[in-house]
Amino acid sequence: MRLRHIVAATALLGLLGVPAHADEARDISRDTLPVNGGWAAADGGTTGGSTADDAHVFTVRNRSELVRALDGGSATPKIIRIAGTIDANTDDDGDRLSCADYATDGYSLKKYLAAYDPRTWGSAKPSGPQEQARQESAAKQAERVELAVGSNTTIVGLGDSKNTAVLKGGSLQLKGADNVIIRNLELRDAYDCFPVWQPNSGGLGDWKTAYDNIWLRGATHVWIDHVTVSDKGHPDEKEPTYFARNYLRHDGLLDITNASDLITVSWSRFADHDKAMLIGNGDTATGDRGKLRVTLHHNEFESVVQRAPRVRFGQVHLYNNRYVVPADGHDYRYSIGVGTESAIYAENNAFTTPGHIEVADLVKSWNGTAFHQSGTLWGSPRTESGGGYRVDLLAIHNAYNSGSERDLTADVGWTPTLHGEIDSAKAADREVARGAGAGRIS
Ligand code: CA
């Protein structure tokens, strides 16, 4: 009798739409991007899978369920709700796969290093049995960790601040997809078991890794909001050095390439990583001209070495972001990369850096010609006594540029119109510290 009462009460609460617990998070599954929500709001806006019918609303708890819900990247409107932690490096039974499980055709790191040691192999591109075995092994991992996301999809985590939903080791790939929303999700450690040695990269050679946590490739109308993306659990700085170069395991946190367009990234946290965000991946990719329009606002970049972001071609509105370089950030290189034909419009961003970092270090030009900035705060904006200093990144860049770079002009040829209220850098710094990242949608 009592049980029946409880069932009836629960059903009634369900009908009234009253959450079972007062502190339960609001259901964000069918949210759409606000009309002034940055570039992704242009040309029809971004609605993701909000129109999905009930048969296409999935709650997934492991890789197999996630793969079934993604449906090979189909365009059917769908909502995928991730519960708990999903590890992409698992087999169809949910058992964990290690790098050794993927290794095939006699691949071993020891043999690979012996085969392509520059002192004996020279500077030719690796080829032969070990490189072939590496490729076969890498393909086995890619088949597990690369997850195609199709058009008209919303992916949301179900967690809250105490218990965020996590996708570990996976690479969400939006290839040619239109109208996608990803929110309230932590993406961790997109770890490459089989980096390739590139003897001619950057003069000294370098290890090249395969997976971005999120890769937008020819994708349009994408809203990424309240995600946390990092190398958590597996920092590259703990990796060994081979051939005098750090054996990197991670590529980008979020890369936006191949004429992707109309993208908004908001209230997200990018942390503990080397190359965070690449917008445009080649100076000769002229198909990116007029595309790569991206809004980045209220994001936090903490303990990021470089590319926050690095931009080619795109009109990028960068406002109210918070940058934190930790006291031990000795490998820090730069934050904002002004690349070929880029048009970055930066407003009211806040930087906190340790003493050895100069303001001139914050912006680096890679063949860029223009950069707009205003309202930049540098120092420790959150301490009442320190307060931070208003700095002009453009003037300082031009005053201190190394000589190999041209001076940048302030005229980037456009003025952003699609955006919400722009806070002072000081207010943004405080709000972003409190509100950016997964588990923090209020
Ligand atoms: Ca990449």
Ligand 1 centroid vs 229 CA: distance in angstroms?
14
Q: What is the pLDDT of residue 384?
A: 55
Question: What residues form DSSP beta bridges with 242?
Answer: 245
d(CA 42, CA 167): 29
Q: Provide the residue ranges of all domains of the chain, joining segments of one domain with +.
A: 39-435
- Tell me which residue has tokens 């850096």: 353
- Distance in angstroms (rounded) separating the CA atoms of residues 66 and 350: 37
CA distance 233 to 250: 12
Residue whose entry in the numeric block shows the structure tokens 């456009």: 414
CA distance 19 to 25: 9
- pLDDT of 1: 33
Q: Please name every residue paired with 178 in a beta bridge, in sequence order, or none if there are none.
A: 220
In this structure, are residues 97 and 144 in contact, taking their beta carbons and an 8 Å threshold?
yes
Residues 75, 152 contacting (CB under 8 angstroms): yes
Cα 249 to middle of ligand 1, angstroms: 12
CATH number for region 39-435: 2.160.20.10
Compute, in angstroms, the gap from residue 202 CA to the centroid of ligand 1. 16
CB proximity list for 108: less than 8 A, separation 6 or greater: none
pLDDT tens over the chain, length 442 residues: 344 444 444 444 444 444 445 455 689 999 999 999 999 999 999 999 999 999 999 999 999 999 999 999 999 999 999 999 999 999 999 999 999 999 999 999 999 999 999 999 999 999 999 999 999 999 999 999 999 999 999 999 999 989 999 999 999 999 999 999 999 999 999 999 999 999 999 888 999 999 999 999 999 999 999 999 999 988 888 899 999 999 999 999 999 999 999 999 999 999 999 999 999 999 999 999 999 999 999 999 999 999 999 999 999 999 999 999 998 877 899 999 999 999 999 999 999 999 889 999 999 999 999 999 999 999 876 665 556 899 999 999 999 877 778 899 999 999 999 999 999 999 999 999 999 999 999 8
User: Which residue, among 202, 196, 198, 208, has the nearest Cα to 118 in the 3D structure?
Assistant: 198
**Virtual torsion, Cα 130, 131, 137, 138, nearest 10 deg:** 160
Say how far apart CA 162 and CA 196 lie, in whole Å: 38
Alpha-carbon gap, residue 157 to 377, rounded angstroms: 33
* Ligand 1 mean position, distance from CA 192 (Å): 12
**Ligand 1 centroid – CA 5 distance (Å):** 55
Residues that are catalytic: 307
For ion ligand 1, residues whose CB falls within 5 Å: 212, 251-252, 255
Return the pLDDT at 403. Answer: 72
Taking the C-alpha atoms of residue 85 and residue 263, their distance in angstroms, rounded to an integer, is 26
Kindly give the distance from the C-alpha atom of residue 42 to the centroid of ligand 1, in angstroms, as a whole number: 26
Say which residues have a Cβ less than 8 Å from residue 406's Cβ, sequence separation at least 6: 365, 368, 369
Give the global pTM: 0.93
User: Which pLDDT value is given to residue 22?
Assistant: 45
